[in-house]
A and B are shown apart, each in its own frame.
Chain A
Amino acid sequence: MNTDASTIEAWLEGRVVAYGKVDIGSFTPETPLAELGLDSVYALTLCGDIEDRFDLEVDPTIVWDHPTIRSLAHGIAGRLAAAA
């Protein structure tokens, strides 16, 4: 599986759209996740999805430390590299 940050970023964009809070094309990777409706329910959902996709367990507070899609993608890529 390709786990570079740009691939993860594209996957995260797809997840945010799938959660149904925003339309595709209405945000950028630098848009704050909070602005995209990523509340605690969806933060926890995203953690579960990250676990399923990358076999990587993360705490929902990761979205506090990485508050945009781009930042979060780099955070996940870094953790995957550290775990490899």
Chain B
Amino acid sequence: MTRVDAPPRTPAPPVEGVTDTGVHWRRGDWRAAEDPAPPPVAAAGPHEVRVAELHRRRRVGRRWVRELVTARLGVEWPGFATVATHRKPVLLGGGGIDVSISHGAGTLLVGVAAEGLVGVDVEDEPFAAFGRRSLVRRMCADDERAFAATLPDAVRRRTLARAWTIKEAVLKAHGTGLARDPREVRVGADELAAAEGGQGPEWTVVHVLGEAVVVRHP
């Protein structure tokens, strides 16, 4: 039997903002978000608990998108279109609104914009995955790997986590995901260096406006 009681948690309200190019975003702990669905019963096994968590995370993400679209863009909710698994969420109608949803271990990040393409990505500490060479080799171009190799371990993992959120957000904005090699999305040394000294999750909002790719860590 799997214990499903949630650990004690101080719910922190999600934070919201808007980038200088008009991407409205919301970030917070999806487990602390209100959800009308009942939690899994105490006798639930690990499969049921995992599925319930995935569904809850999905519901919260979609609700946040809906709230941003209606409250911040002032648009009547058009609803989500049905898309294949692993595809970028799409809204019904031809309103031109683009949306993106990302989750880390506990952090949820959503972004919406009335024009252009939006991609968001968040990674939670301690960024353990970014200590794996097999990942770094597949995500970084040679110069990015060379720069990261000069950094102390903890700084390197955060720097690589930031690089990943940029790459992933760009790929998500364009709707390709990992069908495109992330090594093709280049991250400059100044952007990598800026991650040092950061705290909390690493997260990126990308707004593609024509040929321009605007990267923000608001």
What residues make up the interface of A, taking CB atoms closer than 8 Å to B? Answer: 19-20, 22-23, 26-27, 31, 34-36, 40-45, 47-49, 51-52, 59-61, 64
Contacts and interface: CB of A to CB of B under 8 A. Distances in A.
A72 B61 CA distance: 29
Interface in B85-140: 85-86, 123, 128-129, 132-135, 137-139
Interface size class, chain B? 20 to 34
B137 A48 contact: yes
Contact of B51 (A20, A35, A61): A35
Nearest to A18: B132
B177 A45 contact: no
Nearest to A41: B129
Given A26-B2, A45-B132, A48-B135, 15 more contacts: A26-B46, A27-B47, A34-B85, A41-B135, A43-B178, A44-B135, A44-B178, A45-B129, A45-B138, A47-B134, A48-B133, A48-B138, A59-B178, A60-B178, A64-B85
B129 A42 contact: yes
B83 interface: no
10 contacts: A20-B128, A26-B46, A31-B47, A35-B51, A40-B178, A41-B135, A49-B134, A51-B138, A60-B138, A64-B85
B168 interface: yes
Contacts of B25: none
Contact of B179 (A36, A51, A61): A61
A66 B113 CA distance: 33
A27 B133 CA distance: 26
Contacts of B137: 48
Contacts of B85: 34, 64
A32 B133 CA distance: 25
Given A23-B46, A35-B47, A41 B138 contact: no
A63 to B, nearest CB: 9
Identify the 5 closest CB pairs spanning chains A and B, nearest first.
A48-B134, A26-B46, A60-B178, A45-B135, A48-B138
Contacts of B164: 41
Contacts of B168: 40
B182 interface: yes
Nearest to B179: A61
A59 B183 CA distance: 12
Interface string B171-187: 00000011100100000
Most buried by A among B2, B138, B182: B138
